[in-house]
Structure formats: structure tokens, C-alpha cells
Amino acid sequence: MRWWVLLVFGAYLGYYYLGHRQDAAFTGRKQLIDTSMDQEVALGVASFQQIVSESRLVRDPRIVQPIEEIARRLIAVGPRVEQVLSASRGIASSTEWDKFEWAVAVIESEQVNAFCLPGGKMAVYTGILPVAKNADALAAVMGHEIAHALLRHGSERMAQQKLMQIGTVAAGMSTSDLDIRQQQMVMAALGAGARYGIMLPFSRDHESEADYVGLLLAAAACYDPEESIGLWERMGAAGGQRPPEFMSTHPSSGSRISQLREWMPEAEALRAQFCN
């Protein structure tokens, strides 16, 4: 094997990481980001326009207005929640709130889903409404999706994927002197290791972080955080057979409920602070 290729890649990895790491908003976790908010917003707007153009939008104000109100309250309380969490962790508030272009669309679909793109464009699918059942549970869902955008998880995944692509090229170059069968075995092992040891755990960590921040946003916006427990119980019941957690991009419903229960005292305290 050409070990010098791996050494060069390792040196570049260190340089890239040290040059692009920063504290994540709200939590202070170290994250790797190499795109600007302006770039994120542009990507989010382009994706949103395409999705909306290909979807059937709900216009009924009886459905749309309550969802817009939930979004408004979650977004409005965000800066105060960030200040509280940042102060408790001794970090600076870093969210560029003025860069976000918030909007919410309601899409007619049986999908049990919602999303918030980088930059603040979000959508709620009507299929999630019967599962949520009430505004408090829907606020937990929408808070989770908004948290993904605030925590810049999309940009973080792009940065990680870039490193994985460079690593794949480096591994291919370093094993180019092996015979084809050995090279395929090495690359397959590296691919499986990257997927199950890095990419999937990384994705699950993002989901848990968004659960945490989303729960606090919903509580601070005066929604009942306890409703998130019932939400995930219903989501688990509606989800059917799922792969083992280590093979999934998301934590299991049981894991999520356990974590939400751990965070509930903090959420209730924040609700009492903001809503009395």
C-alpha cells in the first residue's frame, strides 16, 4: 500500500478540520462547516421552489393558518432560547438570524413527514397531522425540523461527505498496487466501516440534537413538551418493522422517548420561565 497517500490525506484532514470547525449554535458542540449562510439560503430556496412546484399545496386557511402560527411562535422564541442555552454553556450566540428566509408550506400528501431546509424554508405534509393529533405535538415536530436548520446540519453533512469522498480517493490511490480482488475487499471494508461507524451514527446524533433543541423551542413557545412523548409513541406504532438502530439514520422511537424524558425537566423549566 502507498502509505504516503494516507499520510498526506491525514495531514489535509487535520488542516481542513482545524480551519473549518466552529461551535454549534445552542449546544456548543464542535462541528465542521465550510459553507456560508448565504450559500445555505440559496440552496434551500432553490430546493424549496422545486419541491413546491411539484407538490399539491393546501390552501384551506383552517389547516394552513394554525401551522403558520406554530411556525411563527417557534421562530420568534428562537433567539431567546439560544441566549439562555449559550449563557449556560459559556459560548457566544452564533446564529445569523437575519440571514434566514422563513416560510412554511402545507403539502397534500400521505407522507408522515415535515422538513425545514437550510435557510428556513419548511413544509408540513398533511399525513403527519393525524399522527400529531394536536398543536403541542405538531410544535415538537416543527421545532425539530427548524432545529436542523438552526444547527446547520445540512452544511455539516456536506462537509463530512466531502471528506469521505476525498478519503475514498486516497484509499483507492493507496491500494492501487494491490490486485483487483484485494483492492475491492479493502474498499468494501472501508465503505462499510465509514457507513456504520461514521455516517449513520453521525446522522443519529443530528437527529438527537434536533430533538433536544426542538423540544426546548416548543416549550419556550408555550407548547406542552410532554406531548412529544405521545407523538413518538404514535410514530413508533405507525412505523411498522424497522431495521436495527445501528443500521438506521434515525434513533429508534424508544431511544427518542428515553432521551425526551431526560430532557423534560429542562424543557418544563424553560416553559415556566418563558410562559408565566
Q: What is the pLDDT of residue 194?
A: 44
Q: What is the pLDDT of residue 229?
A: 94
Global confidence as pTM = 0.80
Q: What is the pLDDT of residue 155?
A: 85
Instruction: Tally Cβ neighbours within 10 Å of residue 210.
Output: 21
Cell of 125: 405534509
Pairing assessment for the beta strands 114-116 and 121-125 based on DSSP bridges = antiparallel
Q: Where does residue 63 rank: exposed (0-12), middle (13-18), buried (19+ CB within 10 A)?
A: middle
Helical segments of the chain, H only = 3-20, 37-53, 61-89, 129-132, 135-150, 153-174, 180-194, 200-220, 227-238, 253-275
Report how far residue 224's alpha carbon sits from residue 108's, in angstroms, rounded to the nearest whole number: 26
pLDDT at 190 over 50: no
Task: Report in angstroms the alpha-carbon separations of 261 from 32, 227, 229.
Answer: 29, 11, 8
Q: What is the pLDDT of residue 181?
A: 66
Q: What is the pLDDT of residue 71?
A: 97
List pLDDT tens digits, range 124-179: 999 999 999 999 999 999 999 999 999 999 888 887 777 776 666 655 555 556 55
Tell me the pLDDT of the chain averaged across its residues.
82
Report the percentage of the chain scoring pLDDT > 90. Answer: 54
List pLDDT tens digits, range 11-24: 767 766 766 788 88
Q: What is the pLDDT of residue 245?
A: 32
Instruction: Tally Cβ neighbours within 10 Å of residue 76.
Output: 12
Q: What angle do helix axes 61-89 and 200-220 make, rounded to 10 degrees?
A: 100
The 121-125 sheet, strands edge to edge? 103-107, 121-125, 114-116
Instruction: Tally Cβ neighbours within 10 Å of residue 272.
Output: 10
Report how far residue 61's alpha carbon sits from residue 56's, in angstroms, rounded to the nearest whole number: 15
Question: How many residues in total does the chain contain?
Answer: 276
Q: What is the pLDDT of residue 195?
A: 47
List the domain range (segments joined by +) for residue 70: 3-275
Q: How many CA atoms are closer than 13 Å to the CA of 23, on its beta-carbon side?
A: 14
List pLDDT tens digits, range 46-100: 999 999 999 999 999 999 999 999 999 999 999 999 999 999 998 888 899 999 9
Contact between 178 and 1 under an 8 Å Cβ cutoff? The reply is yes
Contact between 108 and 127 under an 8 Å Cβ cutoff? The reply is no
Rounded to 5 degrees, φ, ψ at 27 are -105, -25
Please enumerate in sequence order all residues whose Cβ is within 8 A of that of 186, keeping only pairs 6 or more positions apart, or say none: 171, 175, 178
pLDDT at 45 over 90: yes
Q: What is the DSSP letter of 177?
A: T
Q: Specify the long-range contacts of residues 224-227, CB closer than 8 Å, at least 24 apart.
A: 224/136, 224/271, 225/136, 225/140, 225/260, 225/264, 225/267, 225/268, 225/271, 226/136, 226/264, 227/134, 227/136, 227/137, 227/139, 227/140
The predicted model gives 192-196 an average pLDDT of 44
Q: Which residues are catalytic?
A: 145
Domains: count for the chain: 1
Q: What is the pLDDT of residue 196?
A: 38
Q: What is the pLDDT of residue 189?
A: 47
pLDDT grade for 198, boundaries at 50, 70 and 90: very low
pLDDT at 44 over 70: yes
The predicted model gives 215-239 an average pLDDT of 91
List pLDDT tens digits, range 203-214: 668 889 999 999
3-state SS class at 30: strand
